[in-house]
Amino acid sequence: MSMQPREELVHVIQGQFRIADKPNQILSTLLGSCVAACMRDPVLGIGGMNHFLLPGNDPNSTNNVKYGAHSMEQLVNGLLRRGALRERIEAQLFGGANIVAGLTKIGDSNCLFARQFMRDEGFRLVREDLGGTRGRKIRFKPSTGQVLVEPIDALAADTATRSPARKLPNVKSGEVDLF
Domain extent listing, the chain: 8-160
**pTM of the prediction?**
0.83
3-state DSSP assignment of residue 79: helix
More confident residue, 161 or 118: 118
| Res 157: pLDDT | 61
Question: What's the confidence (pLDDT) of residue 172?
Answer: 43
Residue 164: what pLDDT? 45
- From 34, 16, 37, select the one nearest 89 (Cα to Cα): 37
Residue 124 has pLDDT above 70, yes or no: yes
Query: Does the domain spanning 8-160 belong to CATH 3.30.1330.200?
Result: yes
Nearest of 41, 40, 71 to residue 57 by alpha carbon: 71
Average pLDDT over residues 44-54: 96
Verify whether residue 34 is a known catalytic residue. Answer: yes
Cβ proximity of 81 and 31 under 8 Å: no
Which of 34, 79, 93, 114 is catalytic? The answer is 34
Task: Look at 1 and 69; give whichever has higher pLDDT.
Answer: 69
User: 100 falls in which pLDDT band (50, 70, 90)?
Assistant: confident
Query: What separation in angstroms does the CA of 149 have from each of 32, 134, 140, 146, 154?
Result: 13, 11, 9, 10, 13
